[in-house]
Amino acid sequence: MRKIEQDIIPALKAEKNFESGQGRDRVEWDGREFCVYLWGNRIAKGNTETETVQVSSCGYSTQTTTSRLNAVFAAFDIPLSAVIRNFNLIFVMNGKDVLHKGTRTEAGGWIVTIA
């Protein structure tokens, strides 16, 4: 696990705002709602009360984006993984592709939507 993930996960679990020194990564909370930004692009928006989260690569299917999305999933015990396959961002649960752009699923009690 990367150092930045080790910073993002506790911030999400504790419902605390976080910003990396370079401003590349940012977590913002407003009540029970959170947003995760990477280089100013909102890659995750969720609500811990309704247990909903919307995630997006924002057009950047990179290892950095997958790392940050996996940190969001880890923070809330959502049993999904973001992976890059054939230059596309794919979401996997129990070894099977489950989500692609425009789809939603229930995972670990959360409703996950791919924007």
Structural domain count of the chain:
1
- pLDDT, one tens digit per residue, over 95-114 is 998 877 888 999 999 999 99
In which domain, by residue range, is 60 found?
3-114
Q: How confident is the model at residue 23 (pLDDT cuts 50, 70, 90)?
A: confident
pLDDT tens, 44-66? 999 999 999 999 999 999 999 99
pLDDT per residue as tens digits for the range 62-96: 999 999 999 999 999 999 999 999 888 999 998 99
What DSSP letter does each residue of 38-102 carry, written as one string?
A: ETTEEEEEEETTTTEEEE--TT--SHHHHHHHHHHHHHTT---EEEEETTEEEEEETTEEEE-TT
Q: Whose CA is closest to 84, among 73, 75, 94, 97?
A: 97
